[in-house]
C-alpha cells in the first residue's frame, strides 16, 4: 500500500509537470499574439513594448519564462497579464463555487442515476423501462449549455420560480439563498450524467440479476427488496462508483465550465472562460493545473476505493 | 498475396460449412458474423429508424445550396437589416427598429425567421448542418485513425513503445479535455495552424476539426490497446507469424479486422461526441469562427436574444439534439447487433 501510494504520488507529480509544460507550450509556440503588444495599450511605441517585455520577462527563453511562472504560481505571486490581478487569489475565491456546484450535482446524478437505472431494470422491456430509456437518451443528447440557457430563461426569467443565475455565498445571503441559486445549475449539470448512469446501472443490474448468488439469496426466502438492495445493487454498483469518482474529477477539472458560464457562477471554470478569450496565459495555466490536479487525484482515489470494494483486485 | 496463402482462415471456414451442408441439407449455409449482426440490426426497427433520420439530416445538409438558391434565394451570409417582407398580407420589417428579427414565416423566404443581421435562419441552419456534420464526421475519422495506430502500436510492440505511448495517454487523460480544447481553439483561432507543409488559415474549419479529433484519441486508443494486448497472444497471430508475415501485415491484416467491430460500435458515438464538442467549443468562442455558421455558433449567438427571438436558439438546438440523439440510438442498435451480450466497458 505504501509503495503504491509513493509510486502514484510520483506519477501524479510527473503528469502534472508534463501538463503544465504542454499548456505553456501551446501558448508559447502557437502564434497567439504577443502579450506585450496587447498590454501596451492602443498606440504602443516600440520602447513601451520593449519595456513591458523586460518587466514581465517576455524576452527570456521559453524554459526561463516557464520556470519563473511556475515559481510565482506556487508562491502565490502570479498576476494575470490583463487585469494584473492575483491569479491564486482568484482561484481560491472561485474554488468554493466550483466545489459547491460539482459536489451537489454529483450527489444528484449518482442518486438519480442509480434510482432510475434500478427502476428500469426491475421490469426490463416494460413501459417504465422504455420511458426511462427515452428520457435518458434525450438527456445524453442535449448540450448542457442549451439546457442551461433554456432553464435559466424559462424557470428563472419568465416564470420566476428560481433565480436565473449568479451565486450567493452562504455568508452573504444565508443558506436558503445559496441553495436557491444552485438548484438549477445542479440539475442542469447532472442531467447528462443521470442519463449515462441510469443506462449503466440498468445494464449492470441486468448482468448480476441472473447470477447464482442472487438465485441462492432468493431461495433462502429473503424478501425481494432485500435481494435487490443487499445482493444485486451492491455488486452492480462497483463499476458505477468507479465511474462516479472519475466523472467528479472531470467536472471539478473543467467539466463544469459551460454550466458556470451559462449561469454566471464566477467559479474556476468561469474564470478560465473569461481569461482564455483574452489569451491571458497565467490564469489559463493555473486553472489547467487546478483541473489536472483533481482529475489525477480522483483517478488515484478511485483505484484505491476499487481495491477496497473488490478484494480480488490488488494495488500494484 | 492472399490467394496462394495455404492457411487463410476464410476459405477454410467456408470449406467446413460446405461439408456440413453435404451431411445435413437443412443446416444453414455459412453465415458470417457481419451478416448475423446485420440481421439483428434489421430487426431493431427503432434504431434503424433513427439511422434513417440521421441519413436524412445529412442529405438535407447536402441540399443546402439548393434551398438557398431556389427557395430562399439568398446566401448564408447575406445581411438584410433594412429589408421588408410580406407576411399575412402586411409588409413587415425583417429586423424591427428595436433590433428584433422576424420569427418563422413558414414561407419560402425566412422559413424559420431571421437573425439580428437579417440573415435567413433556415439557410444558415442548413449550411450550419454542413459544417457541424463535416466537423463531427471528419474529427471522428481523425480520432479513429490516430487511436488505431497508437493503440495498436502500444498493444502490439509492448516494451518501450508501449511505455512511451501509455505515459502520453496518462498525460492526455489527466488533461481537462474541455480546457485543452478551448485553449487550443483560441490560440489557433488567432494564428492559424501549420502542420508540416499544410497551412490552415485562422478561420478554417480544419482547426476545430483537428482539435476535436485529437482531443478524443485517448478514450478510444486505450480500449484498442487492451484488446490488441490480448489478441496478439492468440493462435492466428502465431500462425501468421509462422508464415513469415511482418509486423505491419499482422497488425493491419490480422489484428485490425478483429477490432473492426469495436471500431464500428464506437464510430457513431464518437461522431455524436464530436458534434457536441464542436457546439461547446463554438459556444465558448473557440470553435467555428463567425460569420461561418455552425449549430454551436448559431445557438450561442441566438442566446443573447433568447427573450425576443427564441427561434434563433430553438432551431439549431433542436437540430443538434436530433442529430446527436439519432446517432446515439443508432449506435446502441449497432452495439446490440454486433455483440448481443455487450457489457459496457469502463476502462481498458
Which of A17, A22, A30, A290 to substitute to test the interface with B, most B CBs within 10 Å? A30
pLDDT of amino acid A289: 86
Residue whose C-alpha is closest to residue B181's, from B213, B218, B136: B213
Residue whose C-alpha is closest to residue A305's, from A252, A241, A237, A246: A241
A–B interface: beta-carbon pairs under 8 A? 141
Per-residue pLDDT of chain A (316 residues; tens, 9 = 90+): 778 888 888 888 888 888 888 888 877 766 555 666 666 666 677 777 777 777 767 777 778 888 888 888 888 778 777 777 888 888 888 899 999 999 999 999 999 999 999 888 888 778 888 888 889 999 999 999 889 888 888 888 788 788 877 788 878 878 888 888 899 999 999 999 999 999 889 888 888 887 888 888 888 888 888 888 888 888 888 888 888 988 998 898 878 888 998 888 888 988 888 888 777 878 888 888 888 888 888 888 888 887 777 767 666 5
d(CA A298, CA A311): 20
Cβ separation B320–A146 shorter than 8 A: yes
- List, as own/partner pairs, every contact residues A299-302 make where C-beta atoms lie below 8 angstroms and the sequence separation is at least 24, other chains included: A299/A245, A299/A246, A299/A249, A299/B173, A299/B174, A300/A8, A300/A12, A301/A245, A302/A241, A302/A242, A302/A245, A302/A246
Chain A contacts of B325, Cβ < 8 Å?
Answer: 137-138, 141
By Cβ distance, the residue of B179, B272, B317 closest to A146 is B317
Q: Given a cut of 50, is residue B20 above it in pLDDT?
A: no
Strands B198-200 and B193-195: antiparallel
Cβ separation A141–B324 shorter than 8 A: yes
The Cα of A5 is separated from the nearest Cα of chain B by a number of Å equal to 17
Nearest CA in chain A to B46: A134
Cβ separation B184–A26 shorter than 8 A: yes
Domains of chain B, first to last:
124-329 (1.10.3720.10)
Nearest CA in chain A to B187: A32
CA-CA-CA-CA torsion sign (A135, A136, A141, A146): positive
By Cβ distance, the residue of B178, B190, B310 closest to A254 is B178
By Cβ distance, the residue of B280, B284, B346 closest to A243 is B346
Q: What is the per-residue pLDDT across B5-15, written as a single tens digit (0 to 9) for each?
A: 444 444 444 44
Q: Please give the grid coordinates belonging to residue B300.
A: 450561442
The Cα of B201 is separated from the nearest Cα of chain A by a number of Å equal to 12
Nearest CA in chain B to A156: B307
pLDDT of amino acid B340: 58
Nearest CA in chain B to A15: B171
By Cβ distance, the residue of B186, B303, B344 closest to A203 is B344
Q: Given a cut of 60, is residue B24 above it in pLDDT?
A: no
Residue whose C-alpha is closest to residue B176's, from B89, B280, B27, B64: B280
Which of A14, A146, A302 to substitute to test the interface with B, most B CBs within 10 Å? A146
Cβ separation A258–B317 shorter than 8 A: no
Name which residue leads in pLDDT, A248 or B27: A248
Cβ separation B325–A137 shorter than 8 A: yes
Cβ separation A146–B313 shorter than 8 A: yes
Q: Where are the alpha helices (DSSP H) in chain A?
A: 2-29, 35-39, 46-56, 62-75, 87-122, 127-141, 144-151, 170-208, 212-219, 224-226, 234-236, 238-250, 257-263, 268-277, 281-309
pLDDT of amino acid B341: 56
Q: Please give the grid coordinates belonging to residue A272.
A: 478560465
pLDDT of amino acid B2: 41
Cβ separation B171–A18 shorter than 8 A: yes
Q: What is the per-residue pLDDT across A151-164, written as a single tens digit (0 to 9) for each?
A: 888 888 788 788 87
pLDDT of amino acid A85: 82
**Looking only at Cα atoms, what is the longest distance across chain A?**
87
Residue whose C-alpha is closest to residue B207's, from B272, B142, B259: B142
pLDDT of amino acid B25: 55
Q: What is the per-residue pLDDT across B84-113, written as a single tens digit (0 to 9) for each?
A: 776 666 777 777 767 677 777 777 777 777
> What is the SS3 assignment for B48?
helix
Which of B164, B179, B215, B298 to substitute to test the interface with A, most A CBs within 10 Å? B179
Which of B57, B164, B176 to substitute to test the interface with A, most A CBs within 10 Å? B176
pLDDT of amino acid B186: 81
pLDDT category of residue B176 using cuts at 50, 70 and 90:
confident
**C-beta atoms surrounding B257 within 10 Å:** 10
The Cα of A175 is separated from the nearest Cα of chain B by a number of Å equal to 30
pLDDT of amino acid A194: 94
**C-beta atoms surrounding A95 within 10 Å:** 15
d(CA A259, CA A261): 5
How much of chain B, in percent, has pLDDT values that exceed 70?
Answer: 83
The Cα of B33 is separated from the nearest Cα of chain A by a number of Å equal to 23
Q: Are B297 and B288 in contact (CB under 8 A)?
A: yes
The Cα of A272 is separated from the nearest Cα of chain B by a number of Å equal to 8
By Cβ distance, the residue of A33, A143, A242 closest to B320 is A143
Q: What is the per-residue pLDDT across B188-214, written as a single tens digit (0 to 9) for each?
A: 777 667 666 677 777 788 888 988 999
Nearest CA in chain B to A250: B176
**C-beta atoms surrounding B199 within 10 Å:** 11
Cβ separation A143–B177 shorter than 8 A: no
Q: What is the per-residue pLDDT across B209-267, written as a single tens digit (0 to 9) for each?
A: 988 999 889 889 988 998 898 888 889 988 988 988 888 889 888 899 888 888 888 89
Which of B187, B274, B282 to substitute to test the interface with A, most A CBs within 10 Å? B187
Nearest CA in chain A to B286: A277
pLDDT of amino acid B274: 93
Name which residue leads in pLDDT, B124 or A311: B124
Nearest CA in chain B to A136: B325
The Cα of A44 is separated from the nearest Cα of chain B by a number of Å equal to 20
Cβ separation B307–A143 shorter than 8 A: no
What CA–CA distances, in Å, run from A22 to B161, B190, B321? 21, 18, 34
Query: What is the pTM for the complete model shown?
Result: 0.84
Q: Which of A78-82, B4-8, B272-276, B312-316 has the highest mean pLDDT?
A: B272-276
Q: Which of A59-63, A164-168, B146-150, B180-184 has the highest mean pLDDT?
A: B146-150
Amino acid at each position: 500500500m505504501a509503495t503504491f501510494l509513493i509510486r502514484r504520488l510520483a506519477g501524479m507529480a510527473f503528469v502534472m509537470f508534463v501538463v503544465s509544460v504542454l499548456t505553456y507550450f501551446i501558448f508559447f509556440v502557437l502564434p497567439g499574439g504577443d502579450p506585450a503588444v496587447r498590454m501596451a495599450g492602443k498606440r504602443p511605441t516600440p520602447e513601451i513594448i520593449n519595456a513591458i517585455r523586460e518587466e514581465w520577462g517576455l524576452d527570456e527563453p521559453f524554459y526561463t519564462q516557464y520556470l519563473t511562472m511556475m515559481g510565482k504560481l506556487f508562491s502565490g505571486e502570479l498576476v494575470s497579464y490583463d487585469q494584473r490581478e492575483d491569479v491564486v487569489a482568484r482561484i481560491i475565491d472561485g474554488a468554493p463555487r466550483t466545489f459547491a456546484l460539482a459536489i451537489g450535482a454529483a450527489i444528484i446524478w449518482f442518486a438519480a442515476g442509480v434510482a432510475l437505472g434500478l427502476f428500469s431494470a426491475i421490469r426490463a422491456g416494460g413501459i417504465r423501462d422504455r420511458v426511462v430509456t427515452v428520457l435518458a437518451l434525450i438527456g445524453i443528447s442535449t448540450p448542457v449549455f442549451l439546457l442551461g440557457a433554456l432553464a435559466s430563461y424559462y424557470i428563472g426569467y419568465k416564470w420566476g420560480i428560481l433565480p436565473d443565475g449568479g451565486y450567493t455565498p452562504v455568508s452573504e445571503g444565508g443558506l436558503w439563498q445559496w441553495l436557491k441559486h444552485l438548484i438549477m445549475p445542479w440539475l442542469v449539470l447532472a442531467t447528462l450524467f443521470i442519463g449515462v448512469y441510469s443506462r449503466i446501472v440498468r445494464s449492470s443490474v441486468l448482468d448480476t440479476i441472473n447470477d447464482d448468488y442472487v438465485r441462492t439469496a432468493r431461495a433462502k426466502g429473503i424478501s425481494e427488496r432485500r435481494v435487490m438492495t443487499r445482493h444485486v445493487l451492491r455488486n452492480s454498483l462497483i463499476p458505477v462508483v468507479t465511474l462516479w469518482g472519475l466523472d467528479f474529477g472531470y467536472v471539478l477539472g473543467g467539466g463544469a465550465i459551460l454550466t458556470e458560464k451559462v449561469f454566471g457562477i464566477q467559479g474556476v471554470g468561469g474564470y478560465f472562460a473569461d481569461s482564455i478569450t483574452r489569451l491571458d496565459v497565467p490564469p489559463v495555466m493555473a486553472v489547467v493545473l487546478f483541473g489536472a490536479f483533481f482529475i489525477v487525484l480522483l483517478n488515484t482515489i478511485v483505484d484505491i476505493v476499487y481495491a477496497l470494494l473488490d478484494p480480488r483486485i490488488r494495488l500494484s | 498475396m492472399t490467394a496462394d496463402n495455404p492457411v487463410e482462415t476464410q476459405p477454410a471456414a467456408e470449406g467446413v460449412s460446405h461439408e456440413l451442408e453435404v451431411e445435413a441439407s437443412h443446416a444453414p449455409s455459412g453465415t458470417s458474423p457481419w451478416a448475423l449482426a446485420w440481421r439483428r440490426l434489421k430487426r431493431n426497427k427503432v434504431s434503424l429508424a433513427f439511422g434513417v433520420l440521421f441519413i436524412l439530416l445529412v442529405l438535407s445538409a447536402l441540399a443546402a445550396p439548393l434551398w438557398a438558391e431556389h427557395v430562399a434565394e439568398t446566401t448564408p451570409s447575406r445581411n438584410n437589416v433594412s429589408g421588408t417582407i410580406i407576411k399575412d398580407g402586411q409588409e413587415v420589417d425583417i429586423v424591427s427598429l428595436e433590433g428584433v428579427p422576424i420569427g418563422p414565416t413558414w414561407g419560402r423566404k425566412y422559413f424559420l425567421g431571421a437573425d439580428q443581421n437579417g440573415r435567413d435562419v433556415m439557410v444558415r441552419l442548413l449550411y450550419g448542418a454542413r459544417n457541424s456534420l463535416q466537423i463531427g464526421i471528419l474529427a471522428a475519422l481523425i480520432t479513429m485513425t490516430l487511436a488505431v495506430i497508437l493503440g495498436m502500436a502500444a498493444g502490439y510492440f509492448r516494451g518501450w513503445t508501449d511505455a512511451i505511448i501509455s505515459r502520453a495517454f496518462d498525460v492526455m487523460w489527466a488533461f481537462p479535455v474541455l480546457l485543452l480544447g478551448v485553449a487550443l481553439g483560441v490560440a489557433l483561432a488567432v494564428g492559424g495552424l501549420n502542420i508540416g507543409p499544410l497551412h490552415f488559415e485562422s478561420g478554417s474549419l480544419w482547426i476545430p476539426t483537428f482539435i476535436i479529433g485529437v482531443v478524443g484519441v485517448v478514450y478510444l486508443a486505450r480500449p484498442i490497446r487492451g484488446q490488441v494486448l490480448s489478441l496478439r497472444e492468440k493462435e492466428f497471430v502465431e500462425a501468421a507469424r509462422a508464415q513469415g508475415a511482418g509486423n505491419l501485415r499482422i497488425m493491419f491484416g490480422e489484428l485490425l479486422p478483429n477490432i473492426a467491430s469495436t471500431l464500428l460500435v464506437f464510430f457513431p458515438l464518437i461522431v455524436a461526441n464530436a458534434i457536441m464538442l464542436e457546439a461547446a467549443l463554438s459556444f465558448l468562442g473557440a470553435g467555428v469562427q463567425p460569420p461561418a455558421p455552425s449549430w454551436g455558433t448559431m445557438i450561442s449567438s441566438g442566446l443573447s436574444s433568447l427573450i425576443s427571438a427564441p427561434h434563433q436558439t430553438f432551431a439549431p438546438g433542436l437540430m443538434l439534439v436530433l442529430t446527436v440523439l439519432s446517432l446515439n440510438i443508432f449506435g446502441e442498435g449497432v452495439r446490440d447487433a454486433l455483440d448481443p451480450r455487450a457489457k459496457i466497458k469502463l476502462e481498458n
